[in-house]
Amino acid sequence: MLTRTRPVAGISRWFATLGALTLCALLSSPASAQDGPQQEVFIPESGKGPAVVVISGRTGPPNYRNYAKQVAALGYYTVLIDGKDILTRAQDGAQNLRTVIAKAQASPHGMPDKIMVIGFSQGGGGILAHAVKMPDLIKAAVAHYPATSWARNLPAIVSRIQIPVLVLTGERDTYNNCCLIESMRMMESTAKEKQLPLELVVYPDAEHGFNLDGRYYRADDSADAWRRTSERLARHHPVK
């Protein structure tokens, strides 16, 4: 399945006018415990903005660059990282995320206050595993069809939510059984029972990657998901 994120209508034309004002810089040095995982940064036209971390799905950051550029175009200093560095048993995913956040806050192009995170599939699973327990660093999160197959006790995972979380998913998602609608419904019911700030939006005809290039792309659902994400950013993490 191809997974290049499609720009929302109008955004690609916007980028044509930004030219060199919007910069993408790849930090290509090998990751270490001190440096954290590899990342790409996207600087807003103003040169400085609140920080947003975008966490890719399992296919890796290159397929999510367009999306990160869209976020930067809204005025955010945007950091794109690999979901495999966050939802992982081979590394300390929580520490990786904290390191990325600290770097973003210290950047001359970012701001020192709390950030927001946006994740896709494996990256969305990383949000559930780690980001939801970091209210000291993160204001809110948006998880697109988050991976839940790794969770042995999903209600217990949901019970740890300490920040507002928006989940956007497709009713027909059966991709590798990672992100089934039954799991999303379980998260929603657990959150309601425990009065936790999780909101679920389901697109009835959508499958996995409905807002990514490929056979399952759905323009209307993609546009709605972007609108909801933009509204969340404006509400919880406004550009000043």
Where in the chain are the domains?
A: 11-232
Q: Tokens 């929603």 label which residue?
A: 188
pLDDT digits (tens, 9 = 90+) for 54-113: 999 999 999 999 999 999 999 999 999 999 999 999 999 999 999 999 999 999 999 999
Closest CA to 122 of 156, 148, 89, 153: 148
**Positive or negative torsion for Cα 58, 32, 165, 14:** negative
Predicted confidence band of residue 6 (pLDDT cuts 50, 70, 90): low
Predicted model pTM: 0.88
- pLDDT surpassing 90 at residue 19: no
Distance CA 132, CA 141 (A): 8
Structure-model confidence comparison of residues 197 and 23, the more confident one: 197
At the topology level of CATH, where does 11-232 sit? Rossmann fold (3.40.50)
Instruction: Identify the H or E element spanning 34.
Output: none
List the single range of 32-41, 60-69, 108-117, 154-163 with lowest mean pLDDT: 32-41
Nearest to 140 by CA among 79, 225, 52, 69: 52
For the sheet with 51-55, list strands across it. Answer: 23-27, 39-43, 77-81, 51-55, 115-120, 138-144, 165-170, 198-203
Type of residue found at 193: E
* pLDDT confidence of residue 214: 80
pLDDT tops 80 at residue 235: yes
| Rg over CA atoms, the chain | 16
